[in-house]
């Protein structure tokens, strides 16, 4: 149980184009999803917290107009990298938190990640 998928797993795009990454919780409902960015050989950096039906909360330094997050349902959140540039190339990982769990239950389930390469 508690499986999270991401699509696509790998994408290559030209500079200036937009790319959408999907994050789905396959067998549970997630009121909260998180988007992380990971540079090669570095740790995960939280980009934003996505709550179903409301606007995402972005971490300091993350451009909300560049990284558009939509959490339209309890099982789907999307991250759109707009006008992508080579410096946006990275590994993007999403995670999902169980809905309806105890307020103190803090476990996140992670997707397999999406490798974005901007040429």
Partner 1 sequence: AQSVTQPDIHITVSEGASLELRCNYSYGATPYLFWYVQSPGQGLQLLLKYFSGDTLVQGIKGFEAEFKRSQSSFNLRKPSVHWSDAAEYFCAGGPGTASKLTFGTGTRLQVTL
The contact set with partner 1 (CB under 8 A) reads 6, 32, 34, 41-46, 49, 91, 93, 97, 103-113, 115
Pick from 33, 31, 97, 30: nearest CA to 69: 33
> If you count DSSP H runs as helices and E runs as strands, how many of each does the chain have, helices first?
0, 11
Distance of CA 91 to the CA centre of its chain: 10
Instruction: Give the residue with the Cβ less far from partner 1, 37 or 118.
Output: 37
**Residue 59: CB minimum distance to partner 1, A:** 9
Instruction: Give the residue with the Cβ less far from partner 1, 12 or 17.
Output: 12
**Residue 43: CB minimum distance to partner 1, A:** 5
> Where is 32: in which H helix or E strand?
strand 32-38
Instruction: Give the residue with the Cβ less far from partner 1, 63 or 107.
Output: 107
Give the SS3 label for residue 87: helix
**Residue 35: CB minimum distance to partner 1, A:** 12
């Amino acid at each position: 149980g508690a499986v999270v998928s991401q699509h696509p797993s790998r994408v290559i795009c030209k500079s200036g184009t937009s790319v959408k990454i999907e994050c789905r919780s396959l067998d549970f409902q997630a009121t909260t999803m998180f988007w992380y960015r990971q540079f090669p050989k570095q740790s995960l950096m939280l980009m934003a917290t996505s709550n179903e039906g409301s606007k995402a909360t972005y971490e300091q330094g993350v451009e909300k107009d560049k990284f558009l997050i939509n959490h339209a349902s309890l099982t789907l959140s999307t991250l759109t990298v707009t006008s992508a540039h080579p410096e946006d190339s990275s590994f993007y990982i999403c995670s999902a938190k169980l809905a309806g769990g105890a307020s103190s239950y803090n476990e996140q389930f992670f997707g397999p990640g999406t490798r974005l390469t901007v040429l």
